[in-house]
Amino acid sequence: MNVNVFHNLSYGVYIVSTLDGERPTGCVANSIMQITASPATLAVSINHDNYTNSCMKRNGTFAVSILSEESDPGLIGTFGFQSGKNTDKFAAVDHVMKDGLPVVSDACGYLTCRIIDTMETSTHTVFLAEIMDGDLLLNVPAMTYSYYHKVVKGKSPKNAPTYIPEEQETAAKVSYVCSVCGYVYDGEVPFEELPDSYVCPICKQPKSKFIKKD
């Protein structure tokens, strides 16, 4: 199998959020799709290792914030590269409450959903959910995973279905890669000449966390 074919499946980039008790939490997801039109339902795949998975099951509802091409890529670091078990991910993120669920303000649209079924796989839960409500928030194109990969130069978190271990991907030329989130530096200024105050635009880790890759 040529795993590069998986890059040809098209996805958006979403924050799936719910409540941990009374505290908002969430994670990044790509694998979301509408299942039926009437009543409107969708399916979302969330890794068992994501703290959000167990919170969704306990809470029974969740929201989907649809990131746009202009959404802060830092949201993917905040929600995709740390655990909601130990971190209050929404603490520094502008959000509004819809149907009692946290929605990222910097999204182009949202959906609120009630879980009606689940299908377990070896590593992920597929949640089937009825859509309670939804609206557009900003008139900006939705961020696709392809846009995130090619324009933002981001990678998948290791828990994502779309994650492909680096050695399986096509070999790249010399580059500086964030060891925390996999962001590949692609600026005009040579990486060595960046100030020490440079931080990863995705996960906000310092320049010292970058490693040189041949």
Is the link from the previous residue into 190 a cis peptide, with omega within 30 of 0? no
Return the residues of window 167-196 that contact its own copies according to CB under 8 A: none
Contact assessment for residue 72 and residue 8, using Cβ atoms and an 8 Å cutoff: no
In whole angstroms, what separates CA 165 from the centre of its chain?
A: 17
CB 122 → its own copies: shortest distance, Å?
Answer: 6
Rg (C-alpha) for the chain, rounded Å, is: 17
Provide, rounded to whole angstroms, the least separation between the CB of residue 200 and its own copies. Answer: 23
DSSP letters, 9-57, are S--B-EEEEEEETTEEEEEEE--EEEEEETTEEEEEEEETTSHHHHHHH
The residue range among 6-14, 70-78, 94-102, 193-201 that interacts with its own copies, by the rule CB under 8 A, is 6-14
CA angle 177/181/158 to nearest 5° reads 120
Residue with tokens 């994501």: 50
Q: Is 87 in the site for its own copies (CB under 8 A)?
A: no
Interface with its own copies (CB under 8 A), residue from 60, 88, 100, 141: 141
Judged by CB under 8 A, the stretch of 49-57, 79-87, 107-115, 179-187 that binds its own copies is: 107-115
Measured from the CB of residue 91, what is the shortest distance to its own copies in angstroms? 26
Among 82, 96, 105, 164, binds its own copies (CB under 8 A): 164
Residues found near its own copies in the complex (CB under 8 A): 1-6, 8-12, 30-43, 45, 66, 108-111, 117, 119, 121-124, 126, 128, 131, 133-136, 141-142, 144-146, 160-164
